[in-house]
Structure 1
């Protein structure tokens, strides 16, 4: 059987092409498209769950494919990309955004048989070939340069292997559609940029003879001492390189993939906290990984495992899932009528004020075996009932936090639970758990921590009721600073959250918080969210959110330093600051109970940042 496509002409500066010819459904037209989708499909570890889902009358979740190249897919709904106005401001050109969009618009055009989308993809390819203004170009490679400043990198001097890998895939897909060898040539050149050394205009750093790292952020001066070593950018390139190596059957790219794999083996352990309790986003300087990047790492590692079947990737997936499970775990409580209350919180480590694990879907499953259930294997069991819970608006701060970030479900005889993050059009498994493994919650409340208050700098103590004054800044100062020290009556074990409840009289610019253990080792973090004046604010802290937090003895904290900063223009006289209390919160249910019983508490959230949705 044949599929009939419209014939469309695309005009460029160097030729006229005709594409979307009449072709059978298995012709070369679909090779890269199907190849990429097949290779990035969910791994074999999903098979049993997929079988369970499809044995229901209606599938619970469509997890047929995951999309590690989502950068660009989000732009499919962005007017500036769809009408190409994004290409008009040459000093704002974003190679990664353009590459991801071009790849995805071509892919979606094939998937939906939409010739207008494929025509748009062709226009972007032609722009990249003839009109992109900033490149390093040789006979063997092309590196697309960023024109704007970013994160300490100067515009027109930095570039990205992540961007060039996305562009390379876009060119490869363009070649398959249009059969124009120029696109294939540019695909090779873009991937040559990924694998070539820095001194040759590429994005690759050598560690040893048979290992290297592909840089997300690169300049001509990049080396092993000054590079960031961003994990997700490296994995993105490694995956794209593997796809291209298999597609071309070229040993050059396969060998470089294997060298990248060895580079990952050398560095992989460095991306974990010393105690294994959380992960780093990059290594130089080490920075705390936001939860949405942990999830993106899972997507990339899962895709790499599915392509290569290398257990290194599968182990990384499972390790990260276990980390998320330990911090965002469900709790339960039996009721008198033999039902169970299941509790889940989207608030968690490392930054409780930033709800950052995407909208969530939770499936409570009841499973039945064919005969004696204890003797059935997993494959012989099937889901006979499933209850879905959706938490789809975690960042919609106009809604009460109790309604959007917590769930309480009362159900009977559930046996396992699966928690997913809703990721654009896909759902990514965060973890599964048997109900028998769940921690039971009780009605215990957060406990007050006794302390003695001391003040210094521009902060003075008013009375014995933890009320302080912050004095105005002097004329020559950009800000005023006050510090209060909370000397704890006994050593504190920071298991989940340390909560400060404070009431400022006026707006505070920022807060720096330090915790010190019994050996004098300290860790600090900034808290820049806007506190609400005239209201008690609950500041939640986790040990994973402190810089150097993994290196102090968080089970033996004896003091907390809080630095308050305020702009002079917001203050012409001393203002009051009330330290209401310090609380030890050991479970998410205690947090829920605290917020529920104190509706006057203000929970300051970070509105911007993270991966917005």
Structure 2
């Protein structure tokens, strides 16, 4: 009788799970791309690996791991992946700390301090909705009612605003999902991080749609409205790059621009809602304009080339492994650059090269990070046959703590004495060149002491933009590469740049330092990039 009762109970639970429709973990790569974007290897799951993951006190990581394992099970039927997913979900229900568990549900917290003033424990709308969605996906597969109950209860705890322990800011019919919430937070402290909001939004939609829960669906509709209301706020004034967050405004690193592309595309596919389609396509176009393909004539023949270095921070080559696939003469040829962070010469690892026998009919660019994400297609190509000769004569004036020595070097002398304060030596270089958003202004400089560097650019119309740069190390040639979109207010600059000012910051009483500028040039295409990097193969490049 006990066995019969157990079987009837299990069949009832599984029937309920199956009635909820397609499993949340059974979506396509494009639908689930944000959640398959991975730096982890779920196949190698072990108990030790789980403990290392949860030891980071980041609840998103184990839920991310569990969801990946559930997708593997859905696609392959691998029982080991299912058992590993169940073990991870059980751990999150019963053991993970820091967390608050009661009859109303579970709140999972981050157990480390973050940024300036965010003290542990803090919480996030990312795992706040993704964790419950993953638990619900676990229930769909296993029929374990604990997962379903915890999913719905815990998700509804997040529908409060952050001042009450939730993650949802409400303004009438418009809502925003907070990525960072903490004790004592006030509304004016909300960062408005777009990728974090979209991560929570997708999970909330998936859970609301699968559960048919009225309260969760209302919250999704409110968050959708908040997304639409702010879409235009995440583009710079020129519309040629995006913001990572709004308070304060932070320029989007390349990899977050592509993650957001995948997030909007996933939402468009899952919901069928056209409101998500435009921002996905627009980010693809932004990336295409900043990172175009070049068709280059080399000594060995034609090559399609892609530069891993570009907007907005040219030293931050964070576009992930890139694949270029081209249709040439009715055949497909492709190449992948997975060695951008290798120890190969800079000229080799910063340029993807695909040999082709003729001008391609079309080429596609995609990136890979656990899942392939198509970015853009290019059909028009002009053949690049030579470098653009973008070299600029090195001519400068100096000011503040900088002076020119008899041997032609620039001496920066920090203030000294009892009342000395921090200062700077300023070196103003004449540029007088067009520098487009897809191009790079590059220079090589040395310093006899470690130096903190700031930069200012002025255009021909009197607009000014500024930024910081990674510190220079003493006694080395340094490659400094600048894209105008990486400057504060850089999108407001005219294409014709008149001056570049180097601000060498000093501390009172520090040793004087000598600075020299060896080269200044505009890199307009991949031939220019290869030529520049080859000439300075031994220089320090602060690649991030």
Quick check: TM above 0.5?
yes
Secondary structure of 2:261's counterpart equals: helix
For 1:282-321, what aligned pairs fall within 5 Å after superposition?
A: 282-321=245-284
Residues 1:582 and 2:520 aligned together: yes
Q: CA deviation at 1:516?
A: 2.7
Residues 1:219 and 2:207 aligned together: no
Residues 1:346 and 2:308 aligned together: yes
8 Å contact kept, 1:446–1:591: no
Aligned to 1:388: 334
Aligned to 1:84: 50
- Using the size of structure 2 for normalisation, the TM-score is 0.87
Secondary structure of 1:212's counterpart equals: strand
- Using the size of structure 1 for normalisation, the TM-score is 0.78
8 Å contact kept, 1:271–1:283: yes
**Could you tell me how far apart the structure 2 residues matched to 1:71 and 1:153 are?**
29
Residues 304-346 of structure 1 show CA distances to partners (whole Å, capped at 9, x for unaligned) of: 0111112221111111111111111112246899x74422211
Aligned to 2:152: 188
**Could you tell me how far apart the structure 2 residues matched to 1:31 and 1:307 are?**
19
Residues 1:164 and 2:128 aligned together: yes
- Structure 1: unaligned runs, 5 residues or longer: 1-16, 43-64, 368-383, 608-613
Let me know the Cα RMSD of the aligned residues.
3.4
Aligned to 2:403: 460
Q: CA deviation at 1:288?
A: 1.0
8 Å contact kept, 2:399–2:426: yes
8 Å contact kept, 1:80–1:86: no
Closer, same or farther in 2 for the Cα pair 1:139/1:509, shift >3 Å? farther
**Could you tell me how far apart the structure 2 residues matched to 1:151 and 1:130 are?**
29
For 1:243-392, what aligned pairs fall within 5 Å after superposition?
A: 243-333=206-296, 340-366=302-328, 384-392=330-338
Aligned to 1:416: 362
8 Å contact kept, 2:453–2:505: yes
Residues 80-131 of structure 1 show CA distances to partners (whole Å, capped at 9, x for unaligned) of: 8754323775xx4111112212222344345444444433333333332233
Closer, same or farther in 2 for the Cα pair 1:418/1:28, shift >3 Å? farther
Closer, same or farther in 2 for the Cα pair 1:148/1:170, shift >3 Å? same
8 Å contact kept, 1:33–1:173: no
Q: CA deviation at 1:247?
A: 0.7
Residues 196-251 of structure 1 show CA distances to partners (whole Å, capped at 9, x for unaligned) of: 323432100113x2110111111254454220111111111111111111111122
**Could you tell me how far apart the structure 1 residues matched to 2:118 and 2:296 are?**
55
**Could you tell me how far apart the structure 1 residues matched to 2:121 and 2:287 are?**
37
**Could you tell me how far apart the structure 2 residues matched to 1:443 and 1:247 are?**
57
8 Å contact kept, 1:532–1:602: no
Closer, same or farther in 2 for the Cα pair 1:69/1:478, shift >3 Å? farther
Query: Which of 139, 142, 152 is matched with 2:116 structurally?
Result: 152
8 Å contact kept, 1:451–1:486: no
8 Å contact kept, 1:103–1:169: no
**Could you tell me how far apart the structure 2 residues matched to 1:248 and 1:538 are?**
55
**Could you tell me how far apart the structure 2 residues matched to 1:243 and 1:303 are?**
11
Aligned to 1:128: 92
Aligned to 1:602: 539
Closer, same or farther in 2 for the Cα pair 1:478/1:439, shift >3 Å? farther
Aligned to 1:514: 456
Q: CA deviation at 1:423?
A: 1.7
8 Å contact kept, 1:195–1:214: no
**Could you tell me how far apart the structure 2 residues matched to 1:278 and 1:518 are?**
22
Aligned to 1:62: none
**Could you tell me how far apart the structure 2 residues matched to 1:431 and 1:348 are?**
16
- Structure 2: unaligned runs, 5 residues or longer: 1-5
Closer, same or farther in 2 for the Cα pair 1:443/1:366, shift >3 Å? closer
**Could you tell me how far apart the structure 2 residues matched to 1:595 and 1:73 are?**
29
How many equivalent residue pairs? 534
Mean alpha-carbon deviation: is it higher for 162-171 or for 132-141?
Answer: 132-141
Closer, same or farther in 2 for the Cα pair 1:219/1:122, shift >3 Å? same
Residues 357-391 of structure 1 show CA distances to partners (whole Å, capped at 9, x for unaligned) of: 11111111136xxxxxxxxxxxxxxxx41111121
Aligned to 1:429: 374
8 Å contact kept, 2:20–2:211: no
Aligned to 2:61: 97
8 Å contact kept, 1:160–1:217: yes
**Could you tell me how far apart the structure 2 residues matched to 1:108 and 1:287 are?**
36
Secondary structure of 2:181's counterpart equals: coil
